[in-house]
Structure 1
Amino acid sequence: MRALFGNVAFRRLFAGRIITNAGDSLYYIAAMWLAYDLSGSAIYTGLAGFLTLVPQALQFLTGPFVDRWDLRRLLVATQVLQGVFVLIIPFAAWKGWLSVELVLIVMPVVAMLNQFVYPAQSAALPRIVDDEELVDANSAFSFAYQGVDTAFSSLGGILVALVGAVSLYLIDSVTFAVTALVFATTRIPAVEDSETEESTDQVASALSNYVGNLREGIEYTRGTIFVSMLVPPLVVNFAIGATMATLPAFASLRGGARTYGILLAAITAGLLLGALSASLLKRVSVQRLMAIGFLLSGITWLGAIYVQWLPATALLFCLAWTPIGATNVVFMSLIQTYVPEKLLGRVTSVIISGSAMAEPLGSLLGGVAGERVGSTAVIAVTGIGFLFVTLYWVIHPVLRHLPAIEKIEPTEYGLKRV
């Protein structure tokens, strides 16, 4: 790993990754709060979350373009364009033109531009590091993504309370400007001419390959235990979307932007604690871990809603999300352990894409429900969803017998080798 960071190109690409991740996290938090602050309606907050999250499901469409365009220019251009678009919000506020409709227009545009960044960075890695360093390079990038997102989601909530959401857009524009400069000074070798001139219909070919690869991943996943295990992530992601859509309204009832920042910090701290503790639980039965973990999440989540003292609410929020952070790691480890390496990327994308689609839907419907029945009721339903996951793991005829990861017999659960 030390030799890896001795590579100047990698070091700059890594620095750009950290800075742009920080900007993404700050932008999402600022946009969600501003949508609620301008409208006073959870419907708009839910719509804002939906518009920001949906482009993630379309990221595969950017791949063919990433393969065709110069990566350094693409990375610089995306940062510059995102910086320009986020500046529209503080400029509109200065001129007195700011509205929730403008926020909702800017959000998906910035989010869609961002979908080019991560595929471009992934495509750049093999060009700037040796083959034997790729695993370490991807590991470092993954750590940067998770760690920075956790830290700056918390910081974003606090900054909203201290300087306001509009000021956060100004800060965000600076992160995009700095990242553009970093990427501009990063040397990314071009691919060989023979590779770039393969076909005049490269986009259509790449999309066709994507569909074929996706079909192969679906065919493998079908009939495995992962199909049954997909139900809990769908429920949880839907609940997360609904929670994030109504959290600004819930926080406003408990003290406003300051409370919003504290609750976001508590949630992200819980996820991080859970992820860090997952390695201590690898010998525990997967069924027991999932059932007990989500039982604790449901109980502490519901308790947090009805406790009126903010420090206790924040502590219970943190405890509720700790099992979720741990079970996320265990679920991914199970996939990585038993899926053949040649299919791992495809199977992972099928499972993650399938479960991730529930989050924008949860955000949209959660916002509507929050406006009609109140944010507290919607967040309470999230706790009930966690309890449903516990019940699912207890009564499912196959999952209730699932042992620890290292004791699973692959053929019993459809995890065939290819």
Structure 2
Amino acid sequence: MNIIKNRSFFFLLLGRIVTNIGDSIYYVAAMWLVYSLGGNAFYSGLAGFLTLLPVALRFIVGPFVDRWQIKRTLIITQILQSILILVIPIFYYLDILTVQVVLIVMPIVSFIEQFAYPSQSKALPLLLSKEDLVKGNAYFSFAYQGIDLVFNALSGILVALIGAVTLYLVDSFTFAIAAICFSLIKLPSAKESKNKNNAGIKCAMVSYFSELREGFSIVFRSILGTFLIGSVVANFAIGGALAVLPAFASQNGGSEIYGFYLAAMSTGGLVGALLSSWMGKLKVGYFSIISFSFSALCWILAAIMPWPTLGAIFYGIAWIPIGGTNVIVASAIQTVVPNEVLGRVNSVSGSMGTIAMPIGSLAGGYFATVTSSTLIFALTGLGLLFLSIVWILHPRLRTLPIAKDLTPELFGIDPVKYSVKENIN
């Protein structure tokens, strides 16, 4: 069956594509506008911190998403974002726009966005059969990566041609279109959640934090905890790099260079994900050590290269191993962690890793104001080298076999313990 012929899925996918376009345009325009209004990298670092923090705390919205009507949530989130985005051009034309206004609007829009993506994912199994879910998720993934690739570069060029404020008007329009697309979805009435349980949210939160504690226990009593230490440092560095990128691009050509570097990042990550099947045939330990070191080298070359275009190419190459190892490590965790506790383990590793990015963004923005943005951008590449060193120093990480030979025992996890516990409950 061609799932695109499924009318509701088509409008869900179309809405997601339009939303992703809006997100890409918004992020590039907002970061550049903050840098332009503030005049230094500290403000872009603060903007990155405020925008990324809601992403790191996405788990908080889960109980609400589970209890609110999916279609209504999707429509309302897009309308709210469309209205909020309009604040920027309105204030600009009234000549009262300041960097503080943008810094207030950015995290609010980002927080609202955290309700949209989980709701889209929740709608997917309601619209497709179990056999079509993999194909549906593939469409979603390709839409996400592809839109990032195209519009990160295009938005940077458009900022140079028509200005960031005008892009905000375009962005508001895209969110309005997405709301219309979501309004055309028809979800099965019997499955559209209308849970009115008065204690539902409270019980969900109590249950969540109980499971989260167990997730911490599993992660930090296995070698996943050691890997997470390296991952936190790497994400801290990536957050710093994204914060100083507008200042770095400004010194090397302008907003179009900013767009090129963002597009290179998306391209590298996408290529790495596509090559992950081949990478998975290599020993995970040795491949991770070599690939992270190679990425760090390319990253530093991207920062010091006197030709911006060539620098963007090196930056994209640096993200190829990152994209591949992200897929391999995610698959490894799915293989070695019992399914009964996989959700809470992913919550711990995801939240702990991601929360380092906004902190890194804030730090990167600050240090770029007291020294060179080029120096800070180059130093962030060392975060990947640190990750490689962690793998070198840990004998069990260093000697991990190819992906298909990974077992829970190699990671220090007892699969029987958690499976039995879940069965008793």
Q: Which residue of 2 aligns with 1:396?
A: 394
Task: Measure the CA separation in 2 of the matches of 1:338 and 1:377.
Answer: 40
Contact conserved, 1:161 with 1:261, CA < 8 A, in 2?
no
Pairs within 5 Å for 1:256-271: 256-271=254-269
Contact conserved, 1:159 with 1:261, CA < 8 A, in 2?
no
Please tell me the residue identity of whatever aligns with 1:81.
Answer: L
SS in 2 for 1:402: coil
Contact conserved, 2:244 with 2:365, CA < 8 A, in 1?
yes
SS in 2 for 1:415: coil
Pairs within 5 Å for 1:244-323: 244-323=242-321
Contact conserved, 2:396 with 2:410, CA < 8 A, in 1?
no
Task: Measure the CA separation in 1 of the matches of 2:95 and 2:143.
Answer: 38
Q: Which residue of 2 aligns with 1:52?
A: 51
Task: Pick which of 66-75 and 178-187 moved more.
Answer: 66-75
Contact conserved, 1:70 with 1:190, CA < 8 A, in 2?
no
Please tell me the residue identity of whatever aligns with 1:406.
Answer: K
Q: Does the alignment pair 1:154 with 2:153? A: yes
Task: Measure the CA separation in 2 of the matches of 1:96 and 1:198.
Answer: 46
Q: What is the CA-CA distance between 1:116 and the residue it aligns to?
A: 1.0
Task: Measure the CA separation in 2 of the matches of 1:247 and 1:59.
Answer: 25
Task: Measure the CA separation in 2 of the matches of 1:36 and 1:240.
Answer: 18
Q: What is the CA-CA distance between 1:314 and the residue it aligns to?
A: 1.7
Mark the CA change 1:314 to 1:135 in structure 2 (over 3 Å): closer, same or farther. Answer: closer
Q: Which residue of 1 aligns with 2:126?
A: 127
Task: Measure the CA separation in 2 of the matches of 1:123 and 1:316.
Answer: 37
Mark the CA change 1:63 to 1:373 in structure 2 (over 3 Å): closer, same or farther. Answer: same
RMSD: 1.9
Please tell me the residue identity of whatever aligns with 1:378.
Answer: I
Task: Measure the CA separation in 2 of the matches of 1:179 and 1:160.
Answer: 22
Q: 365, 380, 383: which one pairs with 1:382?
A: 380
Please tell me the residue identity of whatever aligns with 2:95.
Answer: G
Q: What is the CA-CA distance between 1:191 and the residue it aligns to?
A: 4.4
SS in 2 for 1:229: helix
Task: Measure the CA separation in 1 of the matches of 2:183 and 2:70.
Answer: 10
Deviation string, structure 1 residues 226-275 (Cα, Å, up to 9, x no partner): 11111222122111110111011111111111221222222222222222
Task: Pick which of 123-132 and 165-174 moved more.
Answer: 123-132
Q: Which residue of 1 aligns with 2:343?
A: 345
Mark the CA change 1:158 to 1:343 in structure 2 (over 3 Å): closer, same or farther. Answer: farther
Please tell me the residue identity of whatever aligns with 2:173.
Answer: V
Q: How many residues align?
A: 416
Q: Does the alignment pair 1:365 with 2:336? A: no
Contact conserved, 1:154 with 1:268, CA < 8 A, in 2?
no
Q: What is the CA-CA distance between 1:107 and the residue it aligns to?
A: 0.2
Q: What is the CA-CA distance between 1:394 and the residue it aligns to?
A: 1.7
Pairs within 5 Å for 1:38-117: 38-117=37-116
Task: Measure the CA separation in 2 of the matches of 1:373 and 1:191.
Answer: 59
Q: What is the CA-CA distance between 1:188 and the residue it aligns to?
A: 2.0
Please tell me the residue identity of whatever aligns with 2:7.
Answer: V
Q: Does the alignment pair 1:12 with 2:11? A: yes
Contact conserved, 1:157 with 1:265, CA < 8 A, in 2?
no
Q: What is the CA-CA distance between 1:137 and the residue it aligns to?
A: 3.1
Q: What is the CA-CA distance between 1:377 and the residue it aligns to?
A: 1.7
TM-score, normalising length: structure 1: 0.94
Task: Measure the CA separation in 2 of the matches of 1:395 and 1:219.
Answer: 23
Deviation string, structure 1 residues 370-412 (Cα, Å, up to 9, x no partner): 1111211211211222222222222223212112112234313
Task: Measure the CA separation in 1 of the matches of 2:15 and 2:48.
Answer: 25
Task: Measure the CA separation in 2 of the matches of 1:317 and 1:197.
Answer: 47
Mark the CA change 1:374 to 1:119 in structure 2 (over 3 Å): closer, same or farther. Answer: same
Q: What is the CA-CA distance between 1:212 and the residue it aligns to?
A: 2.6
Task: Measure the CA separation in 1 of the matches of 2:293 and 2:410.
Answer: 27
Q: Does the alignment pair 1:137 with 2:97? A: no
Q: What is the CA-CA distance between 1:145 and the residue it aligns to?
A: 2.6
Deviation string, structure 1 residues 63-107 (Cα, Å, up to 9, x no partner): 232233322222111111100110111111112111111100100
Query: What's the % identity of the aligned pairs?
Result: 46
Mark the CA change 1:331 to 1:58 in structure 2 (over 3 Å): closer, same or farther. Answer: same
Contact conserved, 2:336 with 2:411, CA < 8 A, in 1?
no
SS in 2 for 1:189: coil
Q: Which residue of 1 aligns with 2:237?
A: 239
Q: Which residue of 2 aligns with 1:167?
A: 166
Q: What is the CA-CA distance between 1:24 and the residue it aligns to?
A: 1.1
Task: Pick which of 340-349 and 48-57 moved more.
Answer: 340-349
Contact conserved, 2:337 with 2:408, CA < 8 A, in 1?
no
Q: Which residue of 2 aligns with 1:185?
A: 184
Please tell me the residue identity of whatever aligns with 2:175.
Answer: F
Task: Measure the CA separation in 1 of the matches of 2:195 and 2:248.
Answer: 55
Please tell me the residue identity of whatever aligns with 2:62.
Answer: G
Q: Which consecutive unaligned segments of at least 5 residues does structure 1 have?
A: none
Contact conserved, 2:153 with 2:256, CA < 8 A, in 1?
no
SS in 2 for 1:230: helix
Task: Measure the CA separation in 2 of the matches of 1:6 and 1:221.
Answer: 42
Mark the CA change 1:283 to 1:67 in structure 2 (over 3 Å): closer, same or farther. Answer: closer
Q: What is the CA-CA distance between 1:198 and the residue it aligns to?
A: 5.8
Q: What is the CA-CA distance between 1:197 and the residue it aligns to?
A: 5.3
Please tell me the residue identity of whatever aligns with 1:151.
Answer: V
Task: Measure the CA separation in 2 of the matches of 1:173 and 1:47.
Answer: 23
Task: Measure the CA separation in 2 of the matches of 1:137 and 1:209.
Answer: 30
Task: Measure the CA separation in 1 of the matches of 2:191 and 2:274.
Answer: 42
Q: 330, 333, 354: which one pairs with 2:331?
A: 333
Contact conserved, 2:41 with 2:243, CA < 8 A, in 1?
yes
